[in-house]
Structure 1
Amino acid sequence: MLPLIYPLLSGAAGVTAIIGTPPRAFRHGSAPQNVVAPYVTWSAPGGFAENTLEGADADVWRVQVDCWSDIDTQVETLALAVRTALEPAGNLIAYIADEQDPVTKRYRISFSFDFINAR
């Protein structure tokens, strides 16, 4: 039902070269306390059912993916690897953030993707 983000990330050599194997990639938009950077978080904050008269039904999920690192240049490399891993399965629709968290001082680059899953 939900898009299979973790398998896409864990199957991408460019991603795992940066965030490890198994990849430090976490659902629900948050990482565990004291996680080592770099890592990826994602959540599915919205979506809708696509229903047609022909019966070709699907679910469209909007997924936010956040790349995190303690190093500015590394977060850029990670974001490119994540985008490369996810674009064959989903449509990149927005760049959300390119910032440094004021509390943790970690750098973040964030995207929104739409994934269409047939039912």
Structure 2
Amino acid sequence: MLPLIFPLLKNATAVTALIGTNPVRAYRHGRAPQDVVAPYVTWSVPGGTAENTFQGADADFFRVQVDCWSDGDTQIETLAKAVRAALEPAAHLVAYLADDQDETTKRYRMSFAFDFIKPR
């Protein structure tokens, strides 16, 4: 039912070159494990709607927030570019949400919002 973010990231060589393959450091629900090694990606689905028509062209619309995390300022930009390239063939980039540094972990973050439309 939800957009298949993990397979899109897992199948993108430029992404897995940065976040690994075993395991792929990409986590749902906007949270990563406590001691995860950077860089990594988190995502969540803060909203969506069901599109219903009488013609049977039903679809689900999802807004997905994707956050890229890194210990390095240069690396975060490289990761963000790779993630964007991996997701844009399946979704529309609609917003840049953050380009900051977490005060607690000192990790850099770049955040995007993507819109996915999934036919039912």
TM-score by length of 1: 0.98
Where structure 2 has 5 or more consecutive residues not aligned to the other structure, the ranges are none
Find the counterpart in structure 2 of residue 13 from structure 1: 13
Where structure 1 has 5 or more consecutive residues not aligned to the other structure, the ranges are none
Find the counterpart in structure 2 of residue 43 from structure 1: 44
Deviation of residue 26 (structure 1)? 0.2
Please, what is the CA RMSD of the aligned residues?
0.6
Deviation of residue 47 (structure 1)? 0.2
Give the whole-Å Cα distance in 2 for the aligned partners of 1:6 and 1:108.
Answer: 19
Deviation of residue 36 (structure 1)? 0.3
Give the whole-Å Cα distance in 1 for the aligned partners of 2:16 and 2:71.
Answer: 17
Find the counterpart in structure 2 of residue 61 from structure 1: 62
Find the counterpart in structure 1 of residue 29 from structure 2: 28
TM-score by length of 2: 0.98
Percentage of identical aligned residues = 73
How many equivalent residue pairs?
A: 119
